[in-house]
Structure 1
Amino acid sequence: MNLRLLLLSGALLLPPAVVSAQSAQPTAPDRFFKQPIGSDYYLANYTEYEAYLKRLASESDRIRLVDIGKSAEGRTQWMAVVSSPANLQRMEEYRGMAEKLARGRVPETEARRLAREGKAVVWIDAGLHATETVTSQGQIQVLHRMLSQSDPETLRLLDDCIILFAHDNPDGMEMVSNWYMRHEDPKRREFSTLPRLYQKYIGHDNNRDSFMAQMPETENVNRQLFRTWYPQIVYNQHQTGPEGMVVFVPPFRDPFNFNYDPIVMSELNEVGFQMHSRLIEEGKAGSGSRSAARYSTWHNGMERSVAYFHNSIGLLTEIIGGPTPTRIPLLPSTQLPRGDELMPIAPREWHLQDSLDYQWTLDRAVIDYASRNRERLLFNIWRMGANSIARGSTDSWTMTPAKVERMENAAPLRAGGADEYNRPATGPKRIDPALYKTLAQVPAERDPRAYVIPATQRDMPTAITFLNALIKNGVEVERADRPFSAGGRSYPAGSYVVRTAQAYRPHVLDMFEPQNHPHDAEYPGGPPKAPYDITGYTLAYQMGIAFDRVLDGFDAALTPVPDLMAPPRGRVEGQGSAGWIVGHETNNSFILTNRLLKAGVPVSWIGQATSAGGETLQPGALWIPASAKAQSILERSAAELGITAHAAAAPPAGERIALKPVRIGLVDRWGGLISEGWTRWLLERFEFDFQRVYPKRLDAGNLARDFDVLVFTDDALPPKGAWGSDRPSRQPEAADTPAALRPMLGEVSDTVSVPAVAQFVSGGGAVVALGSSGRFAQLLGAPLAPALSRAVDGEAKPLEPRSFYIPGSILRARVDNSQPLGFGLPGNVDMFFNQSQTFMPAAGQGRVRPVSWFDGRDLLRSGWAIGQERLAGTTAVADVDVGKGKLFLLGPEVAQRAQSYGTFKFLFNALLYGGARRQEAVPAAAPAIAR
């Protein structure tokens, strides 16, 4: 078949290109790669993998190769669509059936017909975490077997299913494989000393980006999962497995998220047990579930867990192995069969091909489940979508731990005695059933029919970013064509509505409503059981979005938003000729500021509230004196960024802080810091110029020669004492390191690095310390001490989890937005907090200005908190004078995973203010202050 014609005909798969052809038998991996896939001490890289995919697509009529987008480093991210030749001829028809069923809007009779006629769609990926090399290497063998085998089972699977084999991280596979293979001596090969993160910005956290989809790879994947193919099963493969076992396979431990449709959880358990059964039937021992590992189904940020919020079965397996042979250790506790480990494995040598054999079995089990349950899977994804639409169209309530606790606190039905079956009244407490509606179905606590995002946002461009995150996840968003009323309030045209009467209602609720994580203890009365990831992440809270919960139906002229949006066009308004005033409330104002500063245009912050365009702008508004260059940049950028610039007839009165281009150093270390990577992406996104700084450069001193501000993200300064324990990177010997990479070696140390930084600050430089890097408060002698600590043998240590435990939650904090670090922020802000540290006054030198603090004892907005009252009165964000310089302490994760748009300004203000205070005062005709 002509390859060019196939590429042209690929339009039926939406934007991506498609490659396919056919021949008798596709090339076996052993005849294509330098060594057989699965060999000890050998890894194929992505370039070779990509070439093999194209070879298979040119040889087999069971595969269509689809380009789903580019990676962060510009590589093509491929998805191989595998099915029978007859199915592939009707691929777009089957895709359309899957979409109609997943959206849940066709009537039941039509859904049953589509389920009978459709094909089960199964997503099986590889390589998300690039050092988990089993998945990518195994996919090569699995693909070849599915394309070459013609046994009855394989033909049945191909006939009943459409399998989407995708690669999640092309850049990581290329990097890890090349690093591993760099030595000729196989015994020297390893990838534990990788020089940088294996995904350009975020490394391992590429599996925490699913509900946000800010990385290109995540957006590419989500487009296939929730906007194109709508698979009923999403199988996300990982390693490493539980110690003393081979592989973790679902079911998962509790808790699961209360927004899910229970059907998806029951199907998850079914397919999980089928995977265990197939392993056992084939004599493959060592699979474990539930208590065998920490994995739960609470957090929405992971690829397999975001699937549950979309009514798809999300599977995670974690398997041992890799190219370097190893041994399964003997753990006596794993040797006794039990419900969560049915067939223990004895200690033995283990090779890469062993893991690949298990992966083949697991993949076949999943596809076989889909084949045998094809019609049921297709119908049930419709049923779950239809359930969501029905629940969003009437009064409904979601049960939460808070409501259960409310019922537990009610008076018991009776004390002592026996029940109606003459059983002693023991066990769980009983209350009057009549109280169920009173306590668990309070009218004001109904699930909303819709959420309205008014057009009158403080920061409309950020609201559009939030709505785009929903759209990337397949959520239906509508825009008001005319003013309307809902829930007793009036809204202007241009407001946005997200109805809950849609198939992806669980995802909608999870993005707007607070997560109410249960109190999960190791045993009754025991210490808290660590969650698999964070517990509170409500995206609307993190991003500072103003929205209303509408509890009843309403009528409005609404138009569906068809695709990702740009911010509403901004403008330059007014007739004044002296210059322009721009509000500080939008995050995009920092992009404008950076563009102006790079062009040499003067910019300053107005130190107090000011009036412009008939409205009052809070302190920190930009003042831009008139010039042709400034006007050109403003007119172009204001429209693009959704910013309003007000022309002024005269310079604003009062104090101003003159800004300048700031030389920023962002501290990293060998192997890469995920916190640095997220921050790096964020700085690029908002057009801050910066250099990455490694320990050797810090140790060399004379930092003021190159930098005005140094940024230490969480863990960039190794944690100690009250800030926790360091996790040092593993580094190769200098002689074993390419010359170009040697400047990245070294560790930030208290003995050499910190004195160099102290000299930089005392001489006038600024340090921005986020998270655990707040330890600089002690090292630089600031008059602050860690507030959340206890003395152990004379040394400060973190509080015990029994008394204080906030594992990734959202809290409410106060802000002094008259101070430069607080410019543009509201007086109260939702702040992400993950076992962070806060501050209290102590002996030391320098002036401290608290900018944000915790006020009161009831601070939790979303997640789980033990001992939150200990935060009352403690400082979260502080501006500290150290000598001639500044130390900006941002204790909580104000830029966590680049999701908390509502608190980015703390970081951005610190960067610009770190350079601004070095300026001289401007002439008296236009007063300014130098801070």
Structure 2
Amino acid sequence: MTSPGLAQISGPNDKGIATPAESFPQEPGSDYFLANYDQYEAYLKKLASQSDKIKLIDIGKSAEGRTMWVAAVSSPANIARLEHYRGIAQQLAKADGISDEQAQALAAEGKAVVWIDAGMHATETVTTQSQIHVLYRMLTGDDAETKRILDDVIILFGHDNPDGLQLVADWYMRNEDKTKREFRTIPRLYQKYVGHDNNRDSFMAHMPETENVNRVLFREWFPQIIFNQHQTGPAGMVVFVPPFRDPFNYNYEPLLMTELQEVGSTMHSRLVAEGKGGSGMRSAAPYSTWHNGMERSVAYFHNSIGLLTEIIGGPTPETIPLVPDNQLARNDEPLPIRPQEWHLADSLEYQWSLDRAVLDYASRNRDRLLYNIYKMGRNGIEAGQRDSWTTTPGDIDALEEAAKGRPAPEATGYFRSAKRVDPGLYDEVLQAPERRDPRAYILPPAQRDAPTTIAFLNALLKNGVDVLQASQPFTAAGKQYPAGSFVVQTGQAYRPHVLDMFEPQDHPHDEEYPGGPPKAPYDITGYTLSEQMGVTYDRVFESVDGPFTKVSGLLGVPEGQIVGEGKAGWLLRHETNNSFILTNRLLKQKLPVSWIKQQTSAQGVDFAPGAVWVPASAKSRAIVAAAVKELGINAYAADAAPTGETMAIKPVRVGLVDQYGGVMPAGWTRFLLEQYEFPFKVVYPGELDKGNLKASYDVLLFANGTVPVNGGPWRGRPVTMPDPQEIPAQYRPWLGKVSEEKTVPQLDRFAKAGGTIIAVGSAAQLATMLGAPLQPALAKTVDGKLAPLDSKEFYIPGAILDAKVDPTAPLAYGVPAEVNMFFDHSQSFNLTGDGSQVKRISWYDSASPLRSGWALGQEKLNGTTAIADVDLGKGKLFVMGPEVTQRGQPYPTFKFLFNGILYGPASAEK
């Protein structure tokens, strides 16, 4: 197609409303220009001052402190009654306390609510520049379709990542020579901590942007459609548009998936009707609907239609390549497009058509959308109040196993070739009593790490889940529970989300073709949050009622206290992550802290190895007394100092390794270090290569992805650096990458001089580079060199595994003897040598360690080592094959990292 030109996009300025062309230094959507967030925000405010069809809503601050705005757009009459229509949307989405007849009346009265966002991934620039024009067009359009949409629909235009837009746009525009403008060389992540993973944070909601958006979507506005816009499109096409490929998550309401296909088909049809070719669906891209961490997919667990588009384009013109396979029309690409030069303005026109298609669908199906979200919520409530079942691949495997040796009915009819089994097995297997879904989950107040349990419950609350708390003791399923227990009933509108957070994911064995290699999932397959966070709970399979109060807002940790009157000092349990915050506060004030190596007791409480000992002083008492109240941990007073062997903990100088452009796991680690108040400095490879590292650091921390993978049995991507002349001088010291030739010798000197190296995920390849007595176990020898196992032999693409732990080892203090470990194409190890240099800290001792997700060849892990403590001269190398800090979710395994930071330097003093 030929670029429409921006004059057509903006339209005439005859409404008293400022056009994009006159409101920005250059018109958004034109070649070689990107509007930044400051300019976008100013335009929003200008539009709000000029039109009665828009209202700005402040939804909170970004990670860097920018205001996040939602622009509510509708007819003036609807804008005047926004709160009324918001209330209707809430009643219908929560589906609680209203009848079908009342729901139908509310649906007839209400307005469809549609969320359309921009900027989630800041280098995907089409969405932000497009939104500016879509807003203008919706506020100035006089055509019948626009008027109908504004009468029927409340549109929430959001921006997911203000900080990223400001960074990327300013970086792109820094160059006076427009032909040299680019954003591939931005120096850091475009969200302060997690970059691209800001769209993997939805069920956890760690980042402020995610929490703000979730609050709008699932606690305040309850849109029936959530449109999350991205780029880039498949090669040789323009845009990917739903429907998606299988598998979808088995917890969803079926009606949601059919509605999703309706809307997707409507979007494709509009493009085709307008002669806009190059849209693809299903097999055109790898997107599935399994993982709960993305904005458009978390929508499905809340009965909202989640849409994702991935479009080409950007401020620098490009060319659509000729891809032969995409020139033959098929169901998944009905109208191919010819290769041609492509401009950002072209993408804006496509995005406008896609937005209009969604809004037109919402308008024409307003009352049906509103009633159906009620219906799905009501189905969830009813399913949680009776016996119900969710069929997963494991159930089908059990069905087929049970069918062996059982006569099947005679095959008749046109589809007589279909496999049939005894129909009696449906009730016997698929609806066996032991396979039914729980009606409730009960979390008693006595938890191994109570503040972590509160964090888990807050993750549910941030997603709009109803959480109850008992004001008095009660009985459920014959068991007595104390006051203060939390109850999460599955009989609620957001039942799919509840089940997904508590129950293991059972991802199907998905093959590229029968007998072929596994088909890569989109993102990860197992992430059950209750399992990752080590929460203690009971599944209850009968209705639960009692003296319960619904939790309002987010929970604070219950205040801790100083227990007892002992004068010598205080003991803290190592099991609570928040004990590290108190430890770091004490160390910051240069106050003594020790770990007790043996079991001990105080105030009638038994402490496992690793209890934290804080000697008493006036200064330490003030810090301990204030911290325990805030952090929800107890300090147990003792009359005498411990008599057993202790390890003195000292302040440490931590270097967190990162690289130019930013590594997301390093960003997640930075976030955790800040949350738990560890002092640290970000270190770049160039500084490592200079050596003399022990003069500046006690600990060097390498997160997954910070050590480039150069073949062998390791997973990762090649690392490329920009030409130094392409970037400002201030960022040039960040260039470089960890190398075996330059960096590893300096790391060897650092460790042997008493330094600690912590290597997580793919960075664990430092073990072989440093000559540690560890051999990659998930490998084979090809032409005399180690190579990865074939994916048909071993394949675990993001899952939760069961691992054993030695909790008497300082690196594992506070970790239970059996822990859930997140494993994503990770490496495991066999110990070599005589064992004097290395200690196994965590390992797999089962042929079937999978707890949640998908694992092929998992038996190959049996007997291998996940985490090892290696002596290197006077120092330590802690090798952690799994991602123990994965996206800030597996709270029990954070302790491996936190212990390593403090234990390594302490052990070097012995």
TM-score normalised per structure 1: 0.95
* d(CA) in 2 for partners of 1:374, 1:542: 39
Residues 369 and 653 (structure 1 numbering): CA distance in 2 closer, same or farther, change over 3 Å? same
Distance in 2, Cα, partners of 1:216 & 1:337: 44
1:783·1:846 contact (CA, 8 Å) conserved in 2? Answer: no
Residue pairs, 1:18-57, within 5 angstroms? 24-57=15-48
> Secondary structure at the residue paired with 2:360?
helix
Structure 2 residue aligned with 1:371: 363
State whether residues 781 and 844 of structure 1, in contact with CA within 8 Å, keep that contact through their aligned partners in structure 2: no
Aligned position for 2:3: none
1:157 aligned residue (140, 149, 161): 149
The 5 Å alignment of 1:653-664 reads 653-664=643-654
Match of 2:847 among 857, 869, 883: 857
Give the alignment partner of residue 268 of structure 1, picking from 260, 269, 272.
Answer: 260
Amino acid in the other structure paired with 2:703: T
d(CA) in 2 for partners of 1:719, 1:635:
47
2:417 counterpart letter in structure 1: T
The one-letter code of the counterpart of 2:814 is G
- Deviation, 1:718, is 1.1
Residues in 1 aligned to 2:448 and 2:14: alpha-carbon distance in whole angstroms: 60
Which of 206, 210, 221 matches 1:229?
221
Match of 2:479 in 1: 489
Change (3 A) 1:882 1:118: same
Give the whole-Å Cα distance in 2 for the aligned partners of 1:895 and 1:36.
43
Q: CA deviation at 1:761?
A: 0.5
Matched ranges for 1:538-549 at <5 A: 538-549=528-539
Post-superposition shift, 1:23? 11
Between the aligned partners of 2:757 and 2:620, the Cα distance in structure 1 is 30
- Residue 103 in structure 1 maps to residue 94 in structure 2: yes
Question: For 2:58, what is the secondary structure of its paired residue?
Answer: strand
Match of 1:721, SS state, is coil
Question: Which amino acid in 2 is paired with 1:711?
Answer: L
> Counterparts of 1:792 and 1:546 in 2: how far apart (Å)?
45
Counterpart residue type for residue 176 of structure 2: E
C-alpha contact (below 8 Å) 1:329/1:347 kept by paired residues: yes
Pair 1:61 & 2:52 matched: yes
Selected match of 2:860 from 863, 870, 889: 870
1:384 to 368, 376, 381: 376
1:7 corresponds to: none
Quote how far apart the aligned CAs of 1:739 are: 2.3
Contact 1:761 1:882 in 2 (8 A): yes
Partner residue of 1:716? 706
Distance, in Å, in 2 between the alignment partners of 1:175 and 1:729 is 22
Residue deviations 1:679-715, cap 9 Å, x none? 0000000000000000110011000011000000011
Whether the 8 Å CA contact 1:417–1:424 is kept in 2: the answer is: no
Alignment of 1:757-796 (within 5 A): 757-796=747-786
- In structure 2, how many angstroms separate the alpha carbons of the residues matched to 1:576 and 1:843? 48
Q: Does 1:295 align with 2:310?
A: no
Q: Does 1:907 align with 2:897?
A: yes
The one of 321, 324, 328 aligned to 1:332: 324
Query: Contact conserved, 2:571 with 2:613, CA < 8 A, in 1?
Result: yes
Q: How far does residue 845 in structure 1 lie from its aligned partner after superposition? A: 8.9
* Residues 28-73 of structure 1: CA deviation (Å, up to 9, x unaligned): 0001111122111111111111111111111011100111110000
Structure 1 residue 393 corresponds to structure 2 residue 403: no
Q: 1:896 aligns with which of 866, 886, 891?
A: 886
Supply the AA of the counterpart residue of 2:696: D
Report the Cα offset of residue 211 of structure 1.
Answer: 0.2
Residue-by-residue CA offset, 1:518-576 (whole Å, 9 max, x unaligned): 11001111110000010000000000101110100133211111011111110001111
Residues 364-373 or 104-113, more deviating: 104-113
Query: 1:112-158: per-residue Cα shift (whole Å, max 9, x none)?
Result: 00000000000000000000000000000000000111111100000
Aligned residues: 897
Whole-angstrom CA distance in 2 between matches of 1:413 and 1:703: 68
- CA–CA separation in structure 2 for the residues paired with 1:903 and 1:842: 25
| Deviation at residue 420 of structure 1 after TM alignment | 4.3
The answer for the alignment partner of 1:14 in structure 2 is none
- Measured in 2, the distance between the counterparts of 1:681 and 1:749 equals 26
Offset of 1:734 from its aligned partner?
A: 2.2
Match of 1:924 in 2: none
Distance 2:724 2:389 in 1: 61
Deviation at 1:425, TM superposition (A): 5.1
Q: Which secondary structure state, in structure 2, belongs to the residue aligned with residue 692 of structure 1?
A: strand
- After TM superposition, give the deviation of residue 450 of structure 1 in Å: 0.5
Distance 1:416 1:202 in 2: 53
The alpha-carbon distance between structure 1 residues 827 and 374, as it changes in their structure 2 partners (threshold 3 A), is same
What is residue 544 of structure 2 aligned with on the other side?
Answer: 554
Distance 1:412-1:603 versus aligned 2 partners, 3 A rule = closer
Match of 1:172 among 145, 164, 167: 164
**Counterpart for residue 283 of structure 1:** 275
CA positional deviation for 1:779: 1.1
Cross-structure match for 2:607: 617
**Contact residue 846 and residue 883 of structure 1 kept, 8 A:** no
| Aligned equivalent of 1:118, options 106, 110, 117 | 110
Choose from 336, 341, 347 the match for 1:355.
347
Matched, 1:798 2:788: yes
- What residue in structure 2 maps to residue 90 of structure 1? 81
Matching residue of 1:189 = 181
CA RMSD of aligned residues (A): 1.4
Q: Distance in 2 between matches of 1:884 and 1:755?
A: 16
Distance in 2 of aligned mates of 1:442 and 1:411: 15
Give the corresponding residue for 2:247.
Answer: 255
2: distance between equivalents of 1:616 and 1:491? 23
Aligned-pair CA distance for 1:416: 9.3
- 1:737 is matched with which residue: 715, 727, 732? 727
- Per-residue CA shift, 1:427-456, capped at 9, x if unaligned? 32x111111111111212211110011111
Choose from 669, 693, 696 the match for 2:686: 696
Give, as a single letter, the amino acid of the residue that structure 1 aligns with 2:457: L
Deviation string 1:289-320 (CA, Å, 9 cap, x unpaired) is 00000000000000000000000000000000
Other structure's SS at 1:684 match = helix
Q: Indicate whether 1:70 and 2:22 are aligned.
A: no
**Partner of residue 478 from structure 1, selected from 468, 485, 496:** 468
- Structure 2 counterpart SS, 1:211: coil
CA contact 2:709–2:718 (8 Å) conserved in 1: no
SS at the partner of 2:156?
Answer: strand
Write the letter of the residue equivalent to 2:153: C
Give the equivalent residue in structure 2 for 1:343. Answer: 335
The whole-number CA distance in structure 2 between the counterparts of 1:146 and 1:42 is 23
- Report the residue type matching 2:583 in the other structure: T
Residue identity over aligned pairs, in percent, reads 61
C-alpha contact 1:721 1:795 (8 A) present in aligned 2: no
The structure 2 residue matched to 1:670, chosen from 653, 660, 676, is 660
Shift of 1:614: 1.1
SS in 1 for 2:428: helix
- 1:748, CA displacement in angstroms? 1.2
> Residue type matched to 2:316 in 1?
T
Decide whether the 8 Å contact of 1:511 with 1:540 is kept in 2.
yes
Partner Cα distance (2:289, 2:834) in 1 = 46
SS at match of 1:917: helix
Which amino acid in the other structure matches residue 876 of structure 1? A
Structure 2: how far apart are the matches of 1:617 and 1:882? Answer: 31
Please tell me whether residue 132 in structure 1 is matched to residue 127 in structure 2. Answer: no
794, 817, 838: which one pairs with 2:807? 817
Residue 594 in 1 paired to residue 587 in 2? no
Q: Which residue of 1 aligns with 2:510?
A: 520
Code of the aligned partner of 1:702: N
In structure 2, the residue matched to 1:203 is: 195
Q: In the alignment, is residue 748 of structure 1 matched against residue 738 of structure 2? A: yes
User: Matched residue of 1:439: which SS?
Assistant: helix
285 and 796 in structure 1: CA distance in 2 versus 1, 3 angstrom threshold: same
The match for 1:216 among 189, 208, 214 is 208
DSSP-derived class of the 1:309 partner:
helix
Match of 1:408 in 2: 400
Distance across 2 between alignment mates of 1:417 and 1:456:
53
CA distance in structure 1 between the aligned counterparts of 2:892 and 2:409, rounded to whole angstroms:
55
- What residue in structure 2 maps to residue 3 of structure 1? none
